[in-house]
Amino acid sequence: MTTTPRAYRATTPIYYVNARPHLGHAYTTVVADAVCRWHRLLGHETHLLTGTDEHGLKIQRAAEAEGVTPKAFVDGVAPLYAAAWERLSVRVDDFIRTTEPRHAAGVRALLSACHAAGDIESDTYRGHYCVACEAYYLESDLVGGNCPIHARAVEYVEEDNWFFRLSRFEGRLLDWYAAHPDCITPRHRLNEVLGFIRQGLQDFSISRRSLTWGIPLPWDPTQVTYVWFDALTNYLSAVGYGQDQAQYEKWWPVDYHLIGKDIIRFHCVYWPAMLMSADLPLPTRVFGHGFLTKDGQKMGKSLGNILNPVELTGKYGADAVRYYFLKEIEFGRDGDFNETRFVQVLNADLANDLGNLLNRTISMAKKYCQLQVPALDVAAIEPEHPLKALGDALSDRVRLAYENLAFSEVCHLILELVQTGNRYLDQAAPWTRYKEGNTAAVAEILYTVLESVRLGAYWLSPIVPALSTNIYKQLGYSVDFENSLKLQAKVVLESHDRWGTLKPSQALADPTPIFRALELPATDH
Ligand code: MSP
């Protein structure tokens, strides 16, 4: 029976090009890729959108500081993001740049819809503006006169602008969240958003007269669009809003906006209100994750404590970085990056627990079973066999953990299977059974361990696609988790989700270490 695959779509924020890609940006993007890879495994048609945020005062000033035009500046930086994601094995379906014509068309369409609805009106703005946030602040928001996020001086601005009447949406937003309490995760972020709305919402200016680097308003070309109104619209313009109705209907609303907690208000207050005004469906879910910190401080350009994902990937490989992000940082909470800890975790989990288990078991299969998966009747393995029982029991738990974006739990569940495999192998001592001439026992021991490693590799593939591909190769398969993203390949893989799939007598590849132990850094940085 063929069923139409469900379409699944996730987005990352689009990153400001005044900074080079850093590990904080990489974190959100890797998470989004892992979620999408999981859905591809399930056979869903999947779409991952990321991109770059290229307009606004911040970018204009960064270009001025380098003595180049904004266009030349953004054209120089945007490709660095695309290249970084490729290095991290992120499979991007669409990379949108806000300087593209398709994006301008989407912004004009959304502005016109909100304007036609009567929710954009002219007014005068007087107040404080933080260029780093590209956001206004009330006097009461400031800390010692400075921006509460960047601890830098804000600028006083006075301009006649066009305003979005956000204040009209308080009731509708509260009703929406009451009816869709799962729409924002983790739950405490929903409470933060509700608290913010209940304090009363201020209208916000959606245009700038003093700036030229932006998208002109359709009805007043003397002003350009405020960078956040511009940026949020990327989620629509990328899927053809205002231009390609069929594409738009296929991919909107999005299943998950994955964002950092710093931009939750923009995504959970401004954005839904803009969509409500234009009478468009709201995103299904928003996940506001924590910060990647270095020595307890948010990693970012402003604090000058950034790590370069390309360098780290060059040194340790994409899988290592991906695994550390997803296992060591509980998704939703802040997590510290420490290179010593990084090396220790990878060596313990991937080189030692997983890598050694596979390596020594294949070596025994070479010695005792002519480098083949042992021949036996899989159906005759007792349901109580410790590895079969655990493999069966974990299946639903791994699915649920992925469903909840609980990646750390996914990794722990797989490690439980791997560690149980190691203990079982030690206790079952196939070398002794072999000496005794008990070939049936040897076959069962080696099969059940190899099958557990296979299942673990399958489940881990959204997180460490190259490593999983390698494990599969050693087990005699030609599956490429890293690159074969076409739907058909996923359908073929569907049956791999159960314990007991490994084919008896399948030829194995010669044992070679799948993950070499990493060297501890001389000093942590
Ligand atoms: N351009 C806006 C977003 C517009 S989306 C319509 C922006 N860009 S940003 O480059 O400053 O960063 C955006 C995102 O990068 C954050 O929300 C977060 O997802 C990610 N991160 C940046 N620094 C980070 C950490 N130190 N840790 C984790 N994520 C971080 O805001």
Q: Which mutation among 12, 49, 53, 189 tests ligand 1's pocket best, with the greatest number of atoms within 8 A of CB?
A: 53
Tell me the average pLDDT across 415-433. 98
| β-strand pairing of 335-336 with 216-217 | unpaired
Does 130 qualify as catalytic in the annotation? yes
Burial of 485 (0-12, 13-18, 19+ CB in 10 A): middle
pLDDT of 187-196, one tens digit each?
Answer: 999 999 999 9
**pLDDT of 2:** 42
The closest residue, in CA terms, to atom 16 on ligand 1 is: 260
Between 309-313, 393-397, 416-420, the lowest mean confidence (pLDDT) is in 309-313
Task: Report CA(137)–ligand 1 centroid distance (Å).
Answer: 19
The closest residue, in CA terms, to atom 9 on ligand 1 is: 15
Ligand 1 atom at minimum distance from 267 CA: 6
Does 58 qualify as catalytic in the annotation? no
| Helix, strand, coil share of the chain (percent; to 5) | 50, 15, 35
Does 435 qualify as catalytic in the annotation? no
Residue 200 pLDDT > 90: yes
HEC readout, 369-393: HCCECCCCCHHHCCCCCHHHHHHHH
Q: Give one DSSP letter per residue of 275-313, joined into a string.
A: HHHTT-PPPS-EEEE--EEETTEE-STTTT----HHHHH
Out of 180, 183, 250, 301, which one is annotated catalytic? 301
Name the average pLDDT for the chain.
92
Q: Which mutation among 28, 274, 301 tests ligand 1's pocket best, with the greatest number of atoms within 8 A of CB?
A: 28
Does 103 qualify as catalytic in the annotation? no
The C-alpha atoms of residue 52 and residue 95 are separated, in whole angstroms, by: 8
**pLDDT of 491:** 53
Residue 207 is given by DSSP the state: E
Does 25 qualify as catalytic in the annotation? yes
Out of 22, 55, 261, 327, which one is annotated catalytic? 22
Q: Please indicate whether residue 292, judged by its CB atom, sits closer than 6 Å to ligand 1.
A: yes
Q: Please indicate whether residue 309, judged by its CB atom, sits closer than 6 Å to ligand 1.
A: no
Residue 323 pLDDT > 60: yes
The C-alpha atoms of residue 371 and residue 365 are separated, in whole angstroms, by: 5
HEC readout, 180-206: CCCCEECHHHHHHHHHHHHCCCCCEEC
Task: Report CA(510)–ligand 1 centroid distance (Å).
Answer: 44
Range of 125-129, 305-309, 323-327 with top mean pLDDT:
323-327
Q: Please indicate whether residue 15, judged by its CB atom, sits closer than 6 Å to ligand 1.
A: yes
Q: Select from 258, 269, 267 the least CA-distant residue to 10.
A: 258
* Sequence letter at residue 383: P
Task: Record the tokens describing residue 274, joined without a space.
Answer: 């803009």
Burial of 158 (0-12, 13-18, 19+ CB in 10 A): exposed
**pLDDT of 489:** 54
Output the CA torsion 369→371→372→373 (10° steps): 80
Does 183 qualify as catalytic in the annotation? no
The C-alpha atoms of residue 419 and residue 253 are separated, in whole angstroms, by: 41
